[in-house]
Every structure is written in C-alpha cells, then in structure tokens.
Amino acid sequence: MCLAEQPPSFEDDVMGAIAERLGSRESIDGYELDALTVGRRITYDVQANWKLIIENFMECYHCATIHPELTEVLPEFADGYAAQFFVGHGAEFGADVQGFTVDGGEGFDKLPGVDEDHDRRYYAITVRPTVFVNLVPDHVIFHRMFPVSESRTIVECDWLYTREVVESGKDVSRSVELFHRVNEQDFEACERTQPAMSSRAYAHGGVLVPSEHHIGEFHHWLTQRLAD
Ligand SMILES: [Fe+2]
C-alpha cells in the first residue's frame, strides 16, 4: 500500500521489476499469484537497516557459507552465482532434489500454469523498495519490509500455496522450513553487518565488484530518489 498522493505506477515499478529480472512481464503469469493463498506467515524483527537486507538478497557469494540447506537444493548457489545477475535465469534444482523443501524431499504438485522452462527452478525478484518475490514451482514466497528505524526492520514473510493445498490442511512445514532457515541465516548476517554501517569507509556505499552491478543500480536508484 502506498499513501502518496501520486503513487508510483504498478505497471512501471512492479511489472517493470519483474520484466527486468525474468526477461518478460508474462513470465510471472503462470504462477497465478492472485489465485494463491497464505499457508504460513512469519514475522521477523531484524536489527538491521532495510537496505542491507536488500543488498544481501541481491547477491549470493554468502550462500555457500551460510545457507547449507538452500545450496543442497540449488547447487549452483554454492558457487557464489549472483542470484539476480542474469536476466531470465532461474537457479536449477539439484539432480536428486524432488522439491523446494528443507531436505530436498517432495513438495506439492507444481502450480498449474508453471511451464517446463520454469519447472525445477527458483527465481528471485526485488521489487524496489521493500518487496521480494521468490518463485518456485509449487509455491511463492513473498517478503515485505517495514523499516522502523535506521537499524531495525520488520520483515513479514508469506508462503503462498494453492487454495487446494491450504484448505485440505496439507503439512506445509517442510516446505516453509527451507526459506525460514534462509531468512534467519540472512537476517543474522545483516545484523552482524549493521554495526559497521556507520563507518566512514562505508559512507558512499562501500566497494562493489563487477558482478554486483545490479546492486550498484540499486544504490543509484536510491540516491536519485533522495536527491529528488
Ligand atoms: Fe542469503
């Protein structure tokens, strides 16, 4: 929800971010987000600035060291692959992985509209400023951030499933547990990074390497808006 008198355009900001990441606006249609419902909601109170949470979400060289369960399911993340660098690329499930669950065991039926190209793949999208969308074949994980202070952010994370899965009372716990652990691991890393954010060495956003060009774009986007 945006309280601005002239809210930004949904088409430009939300669908634009999706097209920028997935290669086309239509790529998200198959997940039929409007037909999904909340199977689990977990709220995290993170002692870190919201921008750190965004930067963490946009890179993956930390994945090999702090996300053991996620890198089992998505082996390419163990190589430090920058998750949101390549347009249209979704990280592929490991060969013996059955589903996007905490132990790689079976998940639920693939969402009806998800095609072969998107099956067995994970896509992460950052919708600036404060939303993350994570797409996997059988559910969608949706983060919203609520900045409270310069060093505290409330993150509300929803796991979205088909109505059939939720209403039939199927056990979503192994499915939820994977990204819940990823969230806890990421937010702890952000909290450990937060104290150094007031260093003068970080005053201009620190040093970025070429594979972080998309994080550089986020810095640019933010400083432009602050200037406006
Ligand atoms: Fe992470």
The pLDDT of 1-17, averaged and rounded, is: 88
pLDDT digits (tens, 9 = 90+) for 69-104: 999 999 999 887 665 667 888 999 999 999 999 999
How much distance in Å is there from the Cα of 167 to the middle of ligand 1? 31
- pLDDT number for residue 83: 59
Task: Quote the ligand 1 centre to 72 CA distance (angstroms).
Answer: 14
Give residue 52 CA to ligand 1 midpoint distance, Å. Answer: 11
CA 55 – ligand 1 centroid, Å: 10
> What is the whole-number distance in angstroms between the Cα of residue 223 and the centre of ligand 1?
24
Alpha-carbon distance 182 to 90, whole Å?
Answer: 17
Q: How far is the CA of 34 from the centre of ligand 1 (A)?
A: 27
Per the prediction, the chain carries an average pLDDT of 93
Question: Which pLDDT value is given to residue 30?
Answer: 94
Report how far ligand 1's centroid is from the alpha carbon of 189 (Å).
8
* 53 close to 190: Cβ distance less than 8 angstroms: yes
Average pLDDT for 182-199 = 96
pLDDT of residue 47: 98
> How many angstroms is it from 141 CA to the middle of ligand 1?
14
Q: What fold, for 10-197+207-227?
A: Naphthalene 1,2-dioxygenase Alpha Subunit; Chain A, domain 1 (3.90.380)
Listing DSSP states for 144-212 in one string gives EEEEEETTEEEEEEEEEEEHHHHHTT---HHHHHHHHHHHHHHHHHHHHHGGGGGSGGGTT-----GGG
Centre of ligand 1 to C-alpha 3, Å, is 31
Average pLDDT on 192-212 reads 87
Sign of CA dihedral 16, 17, 19, 25: negative
Highest mean pLDDT among 8-22, 185-199, 204-218: 185-199
How far is ligand 1, taken at its centre, from the CA of residue 87, in Å?
19
* Amino acid found at 41: R
What's the 182 CA to ligand 1 centre distance in angstroms?
Answer: 6
Q: What order do you get walking across the sheet with 152-162 strand by strand? A: 36-46, 152-162, 139-149, 131-136, 121-127, 91-92
**137 pLDDT more than 80:** yes
65 C-alpha vs ligand 1 centroid, how far in Å?
Answer: 9
Residue 213's pLDDT band (boundaries 50, 70, 90)?
confident
Determine the distance separating the centroid of ligand 1 and the alpha carbon of 91, expressed in angstroms. Answer: 14
What separation in Å is there between the alpha carbon of 70 and the centre of ligand 1? 9
Beta strand 121-127 with 91-92 is antiparallel
**3-state SS, residue 7:** coil
Ligand 1 centroid to 6 CA: how many Å?
34
Span from the CA of 71 to the centroid of ligand 1 (angstroms): 10
- In 15-137, where does DSSP find H-type helix? 16-22, 50-58, 63-66, 68-73
Distance from residue 105's CA to the centre of ligand 1 (Å):
21
The structure tokens 């909290």 sit at 191
Region 54-63 average pLDDT: 91
